[in-house]
Amino acid sequence: MNSNTHNLFKISTIILFISISLFHFTKSPQTLTLTPKSPRTNYIVRFTNYKHAHHHKKYLEHNTKKKFNGSSNWEWIDRNNAASRFPTDFGVVSVDDEAVNSVVEEFQRLEMVKDVTIDSSYQLRNLLGGNEKVFERIGAFSDAKKRPGKIFTSMSFEDNQTVEWRRELLSHKSQVTSLFGADGLWSKGYTGGKVKMAIFDTGIRSDHPHFRNIKERTNWTNEDTLNDNLGHGTFVAGVIAGEDAECLGFAPDTEIYAFRVFTDAQVSYTSWFLDAFNYAIASNMDVLNLSIGGPDYLDLPFVEKVLELTASNIIMVSAIGNDGPLYGTLNNPADQSDVIGVGGIDYNDHIASFSSRGMSTWEIPHGYGRVKPDVVAYGREIMGSKISTGCKTLSGTSVASPVVAGVVCLLVSVIPESERKQILNPASMKQALVEGAAKLSGPNMYEQGAGRVDLLESYEILKSYKPRASIFPSVLDYTDCPYAWPFCQQPLYADAMPVLFNTTILNGMGVIGYIESPPVWHPSNEESNLLSIHFTYSDIIWPWTGFLALHMQIKEEGSQFSGEIEGNVTVKVYSPPGLGETSFRHSTCVLHLKLRVIPTPSRSVRVLWDQFHSIKYPPGYIPRDSLDVRNDILDWHGDHLHTNFHIMFNMLRDAGYYIETLGSPLTCFDARQYGTLMLVDLEDEYFEEEIQKLRDDVVNTGLSLVVFGDWYNVDTMVKMRFFDDNTRSWWTPVTGGANIPALNDLLAPFGIAFGDRILNGDFSLNDELIKYASGTNIVKFPSGGFVHRFPFYDSSESGATHSFLAGGKDNADSAILGLVEVGGSRIAVYGDSNCLDSSHMVTNCYWLLRKILDFTGKNVKDPILFSNSVKLETSLHQDDDQLPSRRTDLNFSTYSAVLGKELICRSDSRFDVWGTKGYGLQVRGRNRRLPGYKAIDLGMGLNSSSDISISKSPKVVDRSKENSSGNKFLGLLYRDDLDAPVVFPSHWLVPAAVGVLGILLLINFWRIRQKRRRRRKGSNSSGRFSNL
């Protein structure tokens, strides 16, 4: 056989083999990891008023009949539960998936419809095992895949230190109720009598021997049972009201109303909760315990119903979450100011490692979070009732929550029944708890809130309580460290960014209240006049709570002052008259300040942290920074100096640096005041004015830059895409670990750019071992700079369409760290932020950051970093068209504070540029847009309802343009039609095309063979084939 023919045969065989392999390995991600698409999806239609369900049904049918010509593309779902006999403010409809957009648009057009949202589901998923099952701490994600249901975090669990903590329990020789002094109130006749306690959980058995007063059991699920077959609801009820001698509850005479809102499969839907909440309101519950939570504080139907429930004078107690010891991990609804959020401690009054830490992240990146939890209670190895009889121990904040709920029931019973509704409400109960709490030595305010619940102190407060308003926390004392961390960690000084302190107004006078006049600062002495405070606060205090934020600056004349400033902030609140009253209620709230002030530090040690360009979940799918983390795929901890970067913040302060936060665009700070601007793990875009000003600041003003990037790879983002069975939509990462295309735009004037590799591995520098976790590479850097390269494993080529190949390869050395001088300024770039982020850190690189800041701020060059062996003789270069590109298949402006928005300096910038476009800018701001998209001006904040509402129409991809990877075909796979997903046959089209090619080659090969045979028969040649 001729060699060319033989080669052709081998090629054909190989292509056929590849096509068969593709059929086997390139199945659609949907068939491997996603829930199959169902023909219909349930939606919640919320109305602007309460009516019986059949009225709402007729309203929708009548007003959409003409539009749909009587077609059955949607139908009303009747809900036969205990709430059916009461008016409701919502309905559940089943909508054909193909008609979703038209039906939702028509519903939202109706005057009486408030909004339309997916009927999302919640899941406890193994909160407790069954009778003998071991409880597992499992959240919403496992092995980088999202589990069915609404996103939640892990709940109560069997403790691994059971033996140790049981010994601790035995050493106390008492019940947890005795540790709070509950027996002292029992002896006075207070046992929780005539207090209606709603327990939202997995139900309870009617004949359970531990309970004397089970008033009602209701089932809100699609299962035909009222019993608890999991054990979680029974345990929670036992902590609150159990009467077994081995596991006593706090209020044994409390009336238990068991709301079974979770199935045996540990699933629940938002509509079940909304119905159950409505029934709790209609049934006049006094207290409600909810031991679930998750990071999505933008689930508006759920969040707003909680607000309505507390506005109805129901005291809600909820677990703060089991995502500790990480900061910025508060769970909703416990993070709401109208809810009593409970953290956990052990029997030595140490914050439990599992207890989530504050601050609240609703307000950042453009503000400052509130103090949460409100209080802490024992939450490790608590005794409670088993599913049928007997006792067991569990740990978690979902155990600490019923401890506080039991305390609350006991306190409610102290007030005569005829006076309860006039005195007790969510605000007055929280006032009694936080004012009576015992502050623990050691933990800061974002770990312990007001401190450990003190039942007897709160009892004394309630005995003589008169309706009033107050501020929590009521004191900010810079000399009280570590409780006042992070404020006590860094003194105030002149010419700094404002220091923000966000407090909660508790209004025990009424569900609604108003600020009578602007807050006032009352300095205690002449020196205290050096403090300037601007205030932002709630226009309306509802329900029961509001906020008062302090923006504090030292005046310029205090630039050399060293000492303490002290005084009070007062704010007057008023509410409508109470029952039987004729005049408005008035109250003056007082916040005491004691602040430390130092002379303004030198520029070289002042560092400015860019918070403005950080985006987190919610509302967008912002992926984790380390792809090795498989059980927490969302970036939801805030990326703030005082949340998941708090250890770095403490380290820099200990090293003598002063770090300030910028929550406004880069035009809103005076570069002459700072030695270094830090850009770490940033996801947002930049205004053109920001890029220009930063260039001028570096070139002309002497500002230095430190940039820590993260991975960015389009193929990997597509691979991380998944179909969410709850929202019936595709979830795709909004960006990578960092927005590398935007950072490259910012760094372009300096000849610096990052690439799109995803590098993993260990390297050693200065005899320090550092883990490089899903970092990126440097592909452009100017000559004369110093660039450090190391060999890493590159996983960036394991794209969605090549999953059958090995997921990465060993690379030659990759550039990851670069340092260069630019005139009188200095720039340092590094491709991975995980070594600074305490969320999923393997090894820290704080020592490296210190050396970098010594270089950028003080021009101190460490010999290890500035060795001649790493100096660039020629620039590192890559063509611009080869740099990472933006995706054009999603509307980034929905999540951005830049795209479609006006450039404006916010209230977290210095007072002199509030409401302006910044320093030295005379031009008007303009909307910035991504290539391929018109500028979109939403006219609202990131936390507005539109961020999670149903889109009016699917997003359209411009197929005439190549996507960011430069491949038109793959662009079809990158579509992000969230509300009308298109199933593209990527699992058969590619192998089919390859297979057809292989068959054509084989046919061609066969025809050539046939021709040669005929020639051999008709010739007298030697029989050898001529060359083809």
SS3 assignment, position 709: coil
- How long, in residues, is the chain? 1028
- Residue 659 Cα distances to 55, 662, 853, 892, 994, angstroms: 58, 10, 12, 30, 57
Q: Which of 306, 288, 231, 272 is nearest to 122 (CA)?
A: 272
Report the alpha-carbon angle 589-580-305, nearest 5. Answer: 65
Q: Which residues are within 8 A (CB) of 744 and not within 5 positions of it... i.e. 6 or more apart?
A: 752, 753, 754, 883, 884
Alpha-carbon span 936 to 959, nearest angstrom: 21
Q: What are phi and psi of 54, to 5 degrees?
A: -65, -25
The partner residues of 677 in beta bridges, in order of sequence, read 608, 705
SS3 assignment, position 745: helix
Among this protein's residues, is 201 annotated catalytic? yes
DSSP string across 302-367? HHHHHHHHHHTT-EEEEE--S-TTSSS-PPBTTTSTTSEEEEEE-TTSPBPTTS------SSTTSS
Alpha-carbon span 835 to 841, nearest angstrom: 6
A 10 A CB-CB count for 995 gives 18
Contacts 24+ apart (CB under 8 A), 928-931: 928/685, 928/686, 928/687, 928/688, 928/898, 928/899, 928/900, 929/893, 929/899, 929/900, 930/685, 930/886, 930/888, 930/892, 930/893, 930/899, 931/886, 931/888
Alpha-carbon dihedral 126, 127, 129, 134, rounded to 10 degrees:
90
Catalytic residue among 398, 587, 614, 798: 398
Report the alpha-carbon angle 520-524-527, nearest 5. Answer: 105
Helices (H) and strands (E) counted in the chain, each on its own, are 22, 42
Q: Is 728 left (phi over 0), alpha (psi -120 to 50) or beta?
A: left
- 331 CA to centre of own chain: 9
Q: Which of 115, 39, 101 is nearest to 948 (CA)?
A: 115
Q: Please, are residues 393 and 159 in contact by the beta-carbon 8 Å criterion?
A: yes
Alpha-carbon span 313 to 542, nearest angstrom: 12
Alpha-carbon span 691 to 962, nearest angstrom: 26
The partner residues of 246 in beta bridges, in order of sequence, read none
Alpha-carbon span 660 to 652, nearest angstrom: 11
Catalytic residue among 89, 115, 159, 201: 201
Among this protein's residues, is 964 annotated catalytic? no
- 70 CA to centre of own chain: 43
Q: Which of 300, 255, 259, 251 is nearest to 277 (CA)?
A: 259
Catalytic residue among 56, 232, 640, 840: 232
- Residue 220 Cα distances to 53, 535, 719, angstroms: 16, 45, 37
- 602 CA to centre of own chain: 36
Which two three-digit tokens encode residue 1007?
Answer: 């025809």
Q: 413: burial class by Cβ within 10 Å (0-12, 13-18, 19+)?
A: buried
Which two three-digit tokens encode residue 490?
Answer: 């860094």
Rg (CA), the chain: 32
Q: Please, are residues 67 and 109 in contact by the beta-carbon 8 Å criterion?
A: no
- 858 CA to centre of own chain: 36
Alpha-carbon span 489 to 486, nearest angstrom: 5
Among this protein's residues, is 232 annotated catalytic? yes
DSSP at 14: H
Catalytic residue list: 201, 232, 398
